[in-house]
Amino acid sequence: MKITKIERFIIYPILIGLLILFAFFDLNITHALYNPTSIYGRIGENLAEMPFQLLCVFACCLLFKYRNKSSKLVNILWGALFLFLALFFSGYSGGRLISYSKNYGWSKALRWGLAVGISILHFVIGGVCAYFAKIDNPRKAVAFSLFVLIMWVGSFLMMNIFKFFWHRPRWRYIVTLEGNPDQYFVPVYILGCNGNLSSNFASFPSGHTINAIGVISVSLLGYILPKFDKSSFLLRLFAYIWAILCAISRIIVGAHFATDVTAGFLLGFLLFDLMSTFFYPFFMKKVEETPQKKSV
């Protein structure tokens, strides 16, 4: 189910209004919330992106399940590709934990153990859900899965393009510099592009928030699993709440400012709105019109 008019009339004005408001109070909000040792902040840092990654694993497993089997070679090639992608997204979630937890004081064995466990858990859950999903129209499952993966790619590209042009320093990096941290603060309306892609200068927009709101794609499950059709709004509501909680956690650990997370929410929501309104119906129609080849 695509975004409703009521949701657009409420969410877009609120996000744009907050983005303007926070542009004047970014520093004040950060001073009030910053706590680099916060457990809540660390939980958000590690878990924010995982639901979207899990959804991507599920999508890859669906593509593996309903892959083209018109010939033995085609069957093997598509199967290998989708299996690789499922493993990639599973490993991506675990790998991010290794990166985020390097300053927690955890042992290397603990960090890697948790990362491997999370990766395996993602792969198993995604695979089991795809295997037992009772889908009457495999073509719709393919369309849904490709939508999820394109949504992820779009989020990734959009996030990094903005980060490159803004080049905004993170607060947790700023506080490590000599002198008063406030003097190094860069307002959101100042672009500082200089070609440096260091993570310390990747504050705007919040990638965690973009990925957190990306899980809103799960609200399209009703297209392939009718029993979820009436739950579409509740699934989107979960995505909104999840993104807000994750956004706050990013400010707390000093990874982003309030404008960064608001922009991340806005960009992720806009991308989903455009894709679900224009791309998905068109793509679904094309998939259904494509003649189905017989399996061998």
Q: Which tokens hold the place of 229?
A: 């059709």
Instruction: Please count the residues of the chain.
Output: 296
Select, from the ranges 80-89, 216-225, 228-237, 283-292, the one with the highest average predicted confidence (pLDDT). Answer: 80-89
Is the confidence at residue 196, as pLDDT, over 70? no
**Tokens 């018109």 — which residue?**
70
* Distance between first and last Cα of the chain: 35
Q: What is the pLDDT of residues 96-137, one digit of tens each?
A: 888 888 878 888 899 899 999 999 999 999 999 999 998 888
State the angle between helix axes of 138-166 and 258-274 in degrees (0 to 180), rounded to the nearest 10: 150
The model's confidence at residue 16, banded by pLDDT at 50, 70 and 90, is very high
Report residue 294's pLDDT band, with 50, 70 and 90 as the boundaries: very low
Instruction: Give per-residue pLDDT as tens, 230-266.
Output: 788 899 999 999 999 999 999 999 999 999 999 999 9
Distance of CA 244 to the CA centre of its chain: 13
Each residue of 171-183: pLDDT tens digit? 999 999 988 999 9
HSE at residue 95, side-chain half, CA atoms within 13 A, is 7
The phi-psi region of residue 114 (left if phi > 0; otherwise alpha if psi is between -120 and 50; otherwise beta) is alpha
Spatial contact of 187 and 171, defined as CB atoms under 8 Å apart:
no
pLDDT classification of 195: cutoffs 50, 70, 90:
low
Q: What is the pLDDT of residue 158?
A: 94
| Calpha distance 259→16 (Å, rounded) | 10
| 254: alpha, beta or left? (left if phi > 0; alpha if psi -120 to 50) | left
Q: How far is CA 134 from CA 9, 126, 140, 179, 217, in A?
A: 35, 14, 12, 61, 19
